[in-house]
A and B are shown apart, each in its own frame.
Chain A
Amino acid sequence: MIKEIFKTLILLLAMYYLFIFEASYLSFFTSFSFLILFVLVINVLEEPQGRIGLISAFFFGLMLDIYSAHYIGLMALSFSLVSLLLKFILFKYVRIPSLSWIPKI
């Protein structure tokens, strides 16, 4: 349990610095967000009962809310919902046996 919390905190810290890097340095070169791709990849590859994808989606949404003119929580809850829906769709309707070799996140 402690190990899981520690891993999550490390992930969130890394996401925080990556977000800051994207919002300041990378904004000169590209409008593409690598962080959103990162969150998407976690959510797609993670097992349906996993929580890391959901937490990372919530945190990324929260960062977007704070560093924009949005209401706090708008994107955080939207991204969490999308993450849950994605898991639901992947679990219910998608089978990709060839992905079984990918290690668990």
Chain B
Amino acid sequence: MKIFTKKRITIFVILLVCFLIINSFLKDGIKNFVYSKSESLMASLWNKGSEQAFSNKNQEELNKKLIEENQKLLSDLADLQNIKEENEFLRNSLELGLEKDFDLMLGRVISKDLLSDSLLVNIGSNDGVKKGFPVIVSGKVLLGKVVDVYPSYSRVMLITQKNNLIDVEIPDSEIFALSKGEGNLNLTLDMVARDKELKEGSLVVTSAMGGNYPAGLLMGKVKNIKKIDNETYQMADIEKVFDLSVINNVFIIKIAEIYND
């Protein structure tokens, strides 16, 4: 018995050609159509999953609020550490600049990609979303950025997506480094100069150096510092501060310019 028959090979080639045409002209439309048909079911399942995951952790609504509050306090702390180093005039002008540069759009999370760290959100190009827009949750906690935009939906790549590099800063030690996504919701800190002193628990925020994200968005806390003798740089893990089980809504930052998309 032949497995690779002529008929099967012909069908395979025809499908290949069809998919090439679809990806060239109809990809966004098809994805948008399928998402719109399953949106309500997926959104309600996402909410139920979120509630269930939360109750499994023996936490109630109060804890949910506490986590959000904690995120906000951590981001305030990061801001305060920045403020220590800057004079009043520079701080004011930075804040004014940020206010002028972006405003926020609220989106609801529908699903998570099974293969990678990305989320589907229910606002798209019709609402003004563009590829490269940063995505945050309450408390100025960075979640990721928009990588795909469809008419009514967008796909958000999380900061933990494998090999996703972001320029970061540790404000209390004046360290500039890179955060590297490891996949499965894990994040590491890389390219930290050996002579710099990393401290466990230091806050990691985005740096304006990369040009992809506004400065000062909270990413997490430093943990498990690894200083290997023959390595030029030291490394550490970043304990992310967002918890997917409490995220139902996200904010997409409308920025004026995307430098490195």
**A contacts, CB < 8 Å to B:** 20-29, 31, 33, 48-49, 64, 66-74, 76-77, 80-81, 84, 87-88, 91
Chain A residues near B148 (CB-CB < 8 A): 69
Chain A residues near B184 (CB-CB < 8 A): 31
5 pairs, CB–CB < 8 Å, chain A vs chain B: A28-B245, A31-B114, A48-B3, A77-B19, A87-B3
* Chain B 123-144 residues near chain A, CB threshold 8 A: none
B89 located at the interface, meaning its Cβ lies under 8 Å from any Cβ of chain A in the complex: no
Encode B54-83 as 1/0 by CB contact (under 8 A) with A: 001000000000000000000000000000
Chain B residues near A29 (CB-CB < 8 A): 49, 52-53, 56
Q: Which of A28, A66, A81 meets B49, CB within 8 Å?
A: A28
Asked whether, in the complex, the Cβ of A27 is within 8 Å of the Cβ of B49, the reply is yes
B115 located at the interface, meaning its Cβ lies under 8 Å from any Cβ of chain A in the complex: yes
Q: Which of A28, A48, A64 meets B1, CB within 8 Å?
A: A48
**B contacts, CB < 8 Å to A:** 1, 3-4, 8, 12, 15-16, 18-20, 22-23, 27, 30-31, 34, 38, 41-43, 45-46, 48-50, 52-53, 56, 110-116, 118, 120, 147-148, 155, 157, 184, 244-245
Asked whether, in the complex, the Cβ of B1 is within 8 Å of the Cβ of A24, the reply is no
Asked whether, in the complex, the Cβ of B12 is within 8 Å of the Cβ of A77, the reply is yes
Asked whether, in the complex, the Cβ of B3 is within 8 Å of the Cβ of A84, the reply is yes
Dominant secondary structure of chain B at its interface with chain A: helix
Chain A residues near B111 (CB-CB < 8 A): 20, 23-24, 27, 67
Asked whether, in the complex, the Cβ of A24 is within 8 Å of the Cβ of B30, the reply is no
Give 7 new A-B contacts, CB below 8 A, not counting A24-B112, A25-B52.
A28-B245, A29-B49, A67-B111, A67-B114, A68-B116, A69-B147, A84-B8
The closest CB in chain B to the CB of A27 belongs to B112
Asked whether, in the complex, the Cβ of A28 is within 8 Å of the Cβ of B155, the reply is no
The closest CB in chain A to the CB of B50 belongs to A28
Task: Report the Cα distance A47→B53, complex, angstroms.
Answer: 40
Asked whether, in the complex, the Cβ of B48 is within 8 Å of the Cβ of A73, the reply is no
Asked whether, in the complex, the Cβ of A20 is within 8 Å of the Cβ of B15, the reply is no
Known A25-B45, A25-B49, A66-B34; contact A77-B112, beta-carbon cutoff 8 A: no
CB proximity of B31 to chain A, nearest CB, Å? 6
The closest CB in chain A to the CB of B34 belongs to A66
Task: Report the Cα distance A74→B22, complex, angstroms.
Answer: 12
Q: Which of B4, B16, B31 meets A88, CB within 8 Å?
A: B4
Task: Report the Cα distance A49→B113, complex, angstroms.
Answer: 33
Chain B residues near A76 (CB-CB < 8 A): 15, 19
Asked whether, in the complex, the Cβ of A26 is within 8 Å of the Cβ of B49, the reply is yes
Asked whether, in the complex, the Cβ of A73 is within 8 Å of the Cβ of B120, the reply is no
Asked whether, in the complex, the Cβ of B245 is within 8 Å of the Cβ of A27, the reply is no
Asked whether, in the complex, the Cβ of B31 is within 8 Å of the Cβ of A66, the reply is yes
Asked whether, in the complex, the Cβ of A24 is within 8 Å of the Cβ of B23, the reply is no
Chain B residues near A66 (CB-CB < 8 A): 30-31, 34
Task: Report the Cα distance A31→B50, complex, angstroms.
Answer: 15
The closest CB in chain B to the CB of A16 belongs to B38
The closest CB in chain B to the CB of A70 belongs to B115
Q: Which of B19, B20, B30, B244 has the largest number of chain A CB atoms within 10 A?
A: B19
Closest 8 CB pairs of A and B: A73-B19, A24-B45, A28-B53, A25-B49, A27-B112, A28-B49, A25-B45, A23-B111
